[in-house]
Amino acid sequence: MHRRIFLAGLTMLVGLCDSAGAFAADAPELKCPVSGHAASKEHVAQHNGGGVYFCSDRCAKAFAARPDEFAAKANLQLVQSGQFKLVKCPLEGYTLNPITAMEVGGVKVLFCCKGCKNEVRLAKTEDERITLVFNDKAFKKGFEKSPAEPKK
């Protein structure tokens, strides 16, 4: 059963795999949202309409048991893998302002205003910044699924 779920999730990923099912050469190195180790194409689960990669079945099971605990890093991976893109301020849901750009978790993020940017910038750790920008509530406000690329 778990294998079918993993395989179904694998087929839904956008732009991350080549036609042979391997990681695309231009895809960023993805980290397991549970352990932080390198993710594997063999361990994937669905989250927020996309596929999230893990380093092992053990981490995939930990995520399934406690998705809220790992949601921000899973959502970050959905953006890093190109499955989702930023379309609105993740804090307020308003139009993006280009002068507010900053990097969070290796991803360029924009906000609606300097106030939102400063809220994230002033967080004490990178993990706190990732949680502010990529928690499920912020993810639903600011990100949308990237369009599927046409098949060649």
- Say whether 83 sits in a helix, a strand or coil: coil
Measure the CA–CA gap between 152 and 18, rounded to whole angstroms.
11
- 3-state helix vs strand vs coil in the chain, percent to 5: 40, 25, 40
pLDDT at position 148 is 73
pTM above 0.85, yes or no: no
133-142: per-residue pLDDT in tens? Answer: 999 999 999 9
66-124: per-residue pLDDT in tens? Answer: 999 999 999 999 999 999 999 999 999 999 999 999 999 999 999 999 999 999 999 99
Hey, what amino acid is at 90? P
Give CA 53 to chain center in angstroms.
10
Question: Which are the contacts of 91, defined by CB distance < 8 A and separation ≥ 6?
Answer: 111, 112, 116, 119, 120, 132, 133, 138, 141, 142
pLDDT at position 53 is 98
Measure the CA–CA gap between 78 and 72, rounded to whole angstroms.
10
pLDDT at position 84 is 98
pLDDT at position 23 is 45
